Amino acid sequence: MALHVALSDRGKPLFETGDSVDCACDSEKLQVIRTYLHERFPDRAVHEFHSRSFIVVPGCRPAWCANFHVISISDERSYYAVLTGRFLAQPLSELQEHLRWWDLASAMQVDRTVIVDGDGLSLL
């Protein structure tokens, strides 16, 4: 079984700084992440959207599954943080500590797309 992430909604962000979004993700947790990224990328635009993903099982038709919350930092180049449900399920008090400890901003600058999971970062 393989998980494929298709960022088909990339050109149509659901969230721009200052706007509200109809999103099931915890808004307080997302605000912690936005604040961290604004500190590290003060002059860049922040956009958010949900990626579409599907599971491919050999011999079966691909099936759509969970959406991931993605935060995009853009200027001349775009950087993406794909937030998994395991990361967003962590207690609010631990999120900022993890972001700083794992140095998400530096990882995004190096690899441009980073998966943020409950136990660390994975580079694409």
At residue 77, φ and ψ (nearest 5 deg) are -120, 150
pTM: 0.70
Number of domains comprising the chain: 1
Do the strands 45-56 and 63-64 form a parallel or antiparallel pair, or are they unpaired? antiparallel
For residue 16, pLDDT beyond 70: no
Listed range (17-21, 73-77, 94-98) with the worst mean pLDDT: 17-21
Mean pLDDT, rounded, for 53-81: 76
Domain that holds residue 30: 2-123
What six digits make up the tokens of 3?
């998980």
Amino acid identity of residue 98, one-letter, is: H
* Gap between the Cα atoms of 70 and 8, Å rounded: 12
Residues in the chain: 124
Give me the sign of the Cα torsion angle 98, 71, 116, 105. negative
H runs (alpha helix) in the chain: 27-40, 85-88, 92-102, 104-111
* Top-ranked range on mean pLDDT: pick from 44-48, 62-66, 76-80, 90-94: 90-94
Q: What is the mean pLDDT of the chain?
A: 77
What six digits make up the tokens of 81?
């943080």
Mean pLDDT, rounded, for 35-57: 82
* Gap between the Cα atoms of 105 and 67, Å rounded: 22
pLDDT of residue 115: 92
pLDDT of residue 14: 36
